[in-house]
Structure 1
């Protein structure tokens, strides 16, 4: 399908961004169907194949797996899109004050959605701020107010934020929360006790991650401004790649030398650098392949998901996870049990069936040009 022939897309649209957003959301939706959990169960468990699918699960603490990159990708992509959205609003005549009000309103809605999702997960009213949408509500605000400054200022501020986070973790003196890289005994856990009166239930996640991971959204904005610029396309790829490799190696070196371990759950500076590097490299490759080389005929299934990214994320984590998964399981289990199908295959078919239904929902919205915006 020629995506740019669709009325949803203009000729100058950045398809690599649509793809990047879409594949990230597709993977998140797949998680809500329990697909990645099924793929590490017997008979796959204990085989060499399991090590591959373990990459679709978070690392328990110090280390980096592919799945640890998904949230940084999400936050980075939001940043990349911001300069394009800003330019579009300015072109139609929106004032600075109008755009700022829109951004603030958007962040309040994202925060509300993030809190609401935790209520759904817990099946009761709770006040928890660990969801990616809650984190985004802060990182978007920080990136937006920096966006008007030159790129070098944005980069310096982002690095200063990482340094501040590092200092807070290393120097916080309160007993019980003064072990910077120990789960539940660090500065982030203390902030959680202050904000929510509790720490994450065994996971080690902390709400203050919105501070260091703001760098991902800021770097996304800078990358978006670069792609928006008049520089020739190969130069853009070169700059994105060099920047990505630089911070990628910086993050890994901090970890390898035991200066700062890579820990996604508390968003250490080494984690933010390494994951930010992967995000820049992924964008550079996508831009080169899809927008420069025009090898884009295969991206349609992912673009369909990306056009309603926030909607399908919310749907898959509420209606999908709380009802659709079980509803589909009734029929797949009942039908395939007649044929004495192994439990693993039934679970796999169920997950893939739910994923297909949720993709079809995105496709329906796409064909009807129904776009949910926050």
Structure 2
């Protein structure tokens, strides 16, 4: 008898208290007004303390003390439709994306005409998914999530009217959780109910944000920002529930997954045309090719067992974003933007655990000045990923799940307030 067992632990999962697919799992939307611009001009705008996340040099343009707090809700439709090549039994996936809340907090303080300091707390990495327990791909994944919460104390220095630099030290707390069913039917059991495994861990990783802004003339800013790689090393023991000794022996199996949150670089331009209009643009790069292994795969057969890691086969991603701001009246500013993200994974390497691909984002938002010291912003973005085919197969058993995520989309609604003192 050809016995088989498959356990997939993926660390490149889907959300968190922050955003959506950015070609990978880096989040552009983190509960700020940047949401309404689709990331256009993010490294050059310097219009509030959330610049700590996009370019800490922007604090040099913020007077006095400024505080910004934001919240958002993420929702959408990620539904997998299997095709005739699928060999496992079970139901459809259902919508794997549950509504997800998120938020952020930033504070900046101008010390003098040259120095500024600040602090940011936000989630800028991750995603989460929840499949139906009895769906046909349950042996690959039932639920999976990874979240990265960043704490970033920052400082900026302004050399003169043209040049500013900034740096932030990032401490990211990563949380990973994965769950999948285990197929016990090939093991010759009378009771062929599925087994179950869970993996859960949290860990800290560290990195930095650095940036520079050059203003060649009044109303023109060019920003370049870089975020370093953050390594998250997850290590815990499998929690396995099964009635087969061959399967239950994996309970307590020590498992380690090392992830590299990608380094990124963003070049942005902010150009004020007149008292009402400003144009913004950004080009972003993310180093997904260094992400590492996507998970752990354990197979057993009559001849024995085998444990291997799964290479993510990721490629670097790029984003082009264009946007504009229109000052409708002294109290109301309209933001809007559009962006295109390349995919970190080809159709042949896409997994059920990480259903990501190319993405178009369409965004808009409004900032209303309640008074000279208080702004209120509401923003919205729609991310359309279209059809994303997936074809996964186990190497020993040959169990296969094939089909596509059809007309996949995600939206985020964001609200935040900024106070100036």
Return the TM-score normalized by structure 1. 0.27
The answer to which structure, 1 or 2, has the higher relative contact order (CA under 8 A, 6+ apart) is 1
Higher helix share: 1
Return the TM-score normalized by structure 2. 0.25
Q: Which has the larger radius of gyration?
A: 2
Higher strand share: 2
